[in-house]
């Protein structure tokens, strides 16, 4: 397995390397412990906290990202603007803003909570499992993305019609439609009826 930011360790304040830990949660989203990131995704998966971000431009188009080919989980597939996992004790809102900047080089000009969704999605290509209690966020972006190539292969803004065309021919993450459908009421409120979401 290639070493990527997702599988690498990060340094603590003492200078030692620590495994990336996720927050394990119960069915109500209450924290019950931690687990190493990769082990939490091994079948059958352990329910953990995650987040998904949907950012839109001034025309109401959704910013999609194609995950970098070097990622160990769902490489090369298209997905929502940004998704990931808060560190233990980190607020999902803060994690969403942090990872959006780390992956895409932009900070949302607006970011709002859009509910939660719980799902269980196996990834057939990697054999890993997404057992997630996912915090959803919608927002606006006004700057051009500057993606980190180790995280993101490419980005594109799409209208609902363009998304439908792309979804029919390209491979998307296993969780994409689940999180988009769950976020749709907040997306419609943010973008207005003319955007068509």
Catalytically annotated residues = 83, 132
Enter the DSSP assignment of 19.
-
Contact between residue 50 and residue 133 where contact means Cβ atoms under 8 Å apart? yes
Cα gap 106→52, rounded to integer Å: 16
* Whole-angstrom distance, CA of residue 81 vs CA of residue 79: 7
Q: List, in order, residues 6 or more apart from 176 with CB less than 8 Å away.
A: 78, 79, 80
Q: Give the whole-angstrom CA distance, residue 186 versus residue 188.
A: 5
CA distance 72 to 58: 33
Dihedral of the CA atoms 182, 183, 184, 187 (nearest 10)? 180
Contacts of 39 (CB under 8 A, 6+ apart): 46
């Amino acid at each position: 397995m290639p070493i990527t930011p997702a599988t690498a360790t990060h340094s603590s304040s003492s200078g030692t390397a620590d495994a990336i830990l996720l927050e394990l949660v119960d069915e109500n989203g209450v924290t019950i412990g931690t687990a190493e990131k990769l082990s939490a995704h091994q079948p059958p998966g352990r329910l953990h906290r995650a987040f998904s971000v949907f950012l839109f431009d001034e025309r109401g188009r959704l910013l999609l990202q194609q995950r970098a080919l070097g990622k160990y989980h769902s490489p090369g597939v298209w997905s929502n603007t940004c998704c990931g996992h808060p560190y233990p004790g980190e607020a999902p809102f803060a994690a969403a803003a942090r990872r959006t900047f780390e992956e895409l080089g932009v900070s949302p000009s607006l970011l709002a909570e859009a509910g939660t969704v719980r799902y269980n999605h196996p990834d057939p290509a990697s054999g890993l499992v997404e057992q997630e209690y996912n915090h959803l966020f919608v927002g606006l972006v006004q700057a051009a993305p500057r993606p980190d190539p180790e995280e993101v292969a490419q980005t594109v803004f799409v209208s609902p019609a363009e998304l439908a065309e792309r979804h029919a021919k390209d491979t998307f993450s296993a969780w994409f439609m689940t999180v988009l459908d769950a976020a749709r009421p907040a997306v419609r409120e943010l973008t207005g009826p003319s955007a068509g979401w």
